[in-house]
Amino acid sequence: MFVLVEMVDTVRIPPWQFERKLNDSIAEELNKKLANKVVYNVGLCICLFDITKLEDAYVFPGDGASHTKVHFRYVVFHPFLDEILIGKIKGCSPEGVHVSLDFFDDILIPPESLQQPAKFDEAEQVWVWEYETEEGAHDLYMDTGEEIRFRVVDESFVDTSPTGPSSADATTSSEELPKKEAPYTLVGSISEPGLGLLSWWTSS
Amino acid sequence: MEVKDASSALLSNYEVFQLLTDLKEQRKESGKNKHSSGQQNLNTITYETLKYISKTPCRHQSPEIVREFLTAMKSHKLTKAEKLQLLNHRPVTAVEIQLMVEESEERLTEEQIEALLHTVTSILPAGPEAEQKKNANSDGTMDEEDPA
């Protein structure tokens, strides 16, 4: 689920922090910059693992702060393809089942990847697995808050860095803000035996 | 900022749990700047990730248990990713093993799957809810195969 990513960056330490140990200031700055943020094509950054190398710190003319090039390793959430994860159902919509790990929410299981046959119950807004046995069909509901085991089948990174001022002029000045896209989303699947709500597969 | 290696090492949930718990202790000791706005993201992600991992069986592991587990796994010839999943999830049924081990029907016989399950459940400690359930049922629920 988690990987170590080696990165290099230049960290700026303002003069009023010079009395602190350099390593501590740098660790704090790196965490401030990266924790809980998604890096494009890398994953969701969790926290600093360690600092592997500190190069010389320079002070440039006009800026009293010191600039240090730092080589460090960061803990990043980036599940590999086909990894099995356990999460909680956040809700259901016609697009599929939304699953959340407490620290990461943008996981979707599309309708075609659910245990088949599945139908969407409009009244209760919940996906249902119509499980057939000899006695007849059981309806297994995928309720909010239930723990669910799924396989990661796809991931997508969206570059959400700000674009320049758009050429389209005042047409949409009073309209709502453009839809916020999640920078990192996972697509899951539960169409195999053993996947789906944990309660479906526990033998009592 | 430059990313030198986007996947230099895989981390088990236990390692991340350990790291975050230590980080939390450290920040608690040097208490003054925990609430400055810059640290809010770190606080959020640490809290949520710890919350998630604490509900998994990983929280009762230790470096010795992990070492013992990996040594025991050597004989089963599994890939690194498969061993990592077994370590993180602690499967108790054959169905779960089939999910985590690719092409398990071809690579492992039924006895091997049973042996694998036995190794996993005996070396890795169970999660908190499983411990409660085990104490509630007075007799053992796992089938113990007699060693051949």
Say if A105 is an interface residue toward chain B (CB within 8 Å): no
Contacts of A151 in chain B (CB under 8 A): 99
Residue range of the domain that includes B41: 13-27+37-55
Pair B44, B84 in one domain: no
Pair B49, B78 in one domain: no
In a domain, B8, yes or no: no
In a mutational test of the A interface, the residue from B49, B87, B102 whose CB has the highest number of chain A CBs within 10 Å is B49
Q: Which pLDDT band, with edges at 50, 70 and 90, does B34 fall under? A: low
pLDDT at B146: 43
Smallest CA-to-CA distance from A151 within A194, A111, A88, A89 is with A194
**Looking at the predicted structure, is the pLDDT value of residue B21 above 90?**
yes
Pair B69, B122 in one domain: yes
Residues near A44 by Cβ (< 8 Å), separated by ≥ 6?
A: A36, A37, A38, A76, A77, A78, A103, A104, A184
Pair B43, B81 in one domain: no
pLDDT digits (tens, 9 = 90+) for A69-95: 999 999 999 999 999 999 999 989 988
Other residues' Cβ atoms within 10 Å of the Cβ of residue B32: 7
* DSSP for residue A110: -
In a domain, B122, yes or no: yes
Pair B74, B110 in one domain: yes
Residues near B124 by Cβ (< 8 Å), separated by ≥ 6?
A: B57, B61, B65, B69, B87, B90
Pair B48, B72 in one domain: no
Say if A35 is an interface residue toward chain B (CB within 8 Å): yes
In a domain, B67, yes or no: yes
Pair B43, B76 in one domain: no
Task: Provide ipTM, 2 decimals.
Answer: 0.85
Contacts of A78 in chain B (CB under 8 A): 6-7
In a domain, B111, yes or no: yes
Is B6's CB within 8 Å of A32's CB? no
Say if A73 is an interface residue toward chain B (CB within 8 Å): yes
Handedness of CA B59, B63, B64, B69 (dihedral sign): positive
d(CA A95, CA A110): 6
pLDDT at B135: 58
Number of domains in chain B: 2
Alpha helix stretches (DSSP H) within chain A:
22-34, 198-201
In a domain, B78, yes or no: yes
pLDDT at B75: 84
pLDDT at A161: 84
In a domain, B32, yes or no: no
Task: Specify the CATH number for the domain of residue B81.
Answer: 1.20.1250.40
Is B6's CB within 8 Å of A46's CB? no
* DSSP for residue A135: T
Tell me the shortest Cα–Cα distance from B54 to chain A, in angstroms: 11
Let me know if B119 is exposed, middle or buried by CB neighbors in 10 A (0-12, 13-18, 19+): middle
In a domain, B109, yes or no: yes
Query: Using H for helix, E for strand and C for coil, what is the string for chain A?
Result: CEEEEEEEEEEEECHHHCCCCHHHHHHHHHHHHHCCCEECCCEEEEEEEEEEEEEEEEECCCCCCEEEEEEEEEEEECCCCCCEEEEEEEEEECCEEEEEECCEEEEEECHHHCCCCEEEECCCCEEEEEEEECCEEEEEECCCCCEEEEEEEEEEECCCCCCCCCCCCHHHCCCCCCCCCCCEEEEEECCCCCCEEHHHHCCC
pLDDT at A10: 95
**Looking at the predicted structure, is the pLDDT value of residue B76 above 70?**
yes
In a domain, B23, yes or no: yes
Higher pLDDT, A204 or B2: B2
Residue type, B65: I
Residue type, A176: E
Pair B42, B78 in one domain: no
Is B39's CB within 8 Å of A31's CB? yes
**Looking at the predicted structure, is the pLDDT value of residue B121 above 50?**
yes
**Looking at the predicted structure, is the pLDDT value of residue B147 above 50?**
no
Residues in chain A, pLDDT under 50? 170-174, 204
d(CA A99, CA A154): 14
Bridge partners for B11 per DSSP:
A2
Give this prediction's pTM. 0.86
* Residue indicated by tokens 């994953």: A43
Average pLDDT taken over every residue of chain B: 82
Please give the angle made by the CA atoms of B68, B73 and B76, to the nearest 5 degrees. Answer: 160
Residue type, A120: F
Pair B118, B67 in one domain: yes
Pair B81, B103 in one domain: yes
**Looking at the predicted structure, is the pLDDT value of residue B133 above 60?**
no
pLDDT at A107: 93
d(CA A188, CA A116): 15
Tell me the shortest Cα–Cα distance from A171 to chain B, in angstroms: 36
Pair B80, B118 in one domain: yes
Say if A8 is an interface residue toward chain B (CB within 8 Å): yes
**Looking at the predicted structure, is the pLDDT value of residue B140 above 70?**
no
Tell me the shortest Cα–Cα distance from B43 to chain A, in angstroms: 9
Q: Which pLDDT band, with edges at 50, 70 and 90, does B137 fall under? A: low
The three-state secondary structure class of A69 is strand
pLDDT at B92: 87
Pair B94, B113 in one domain: yes
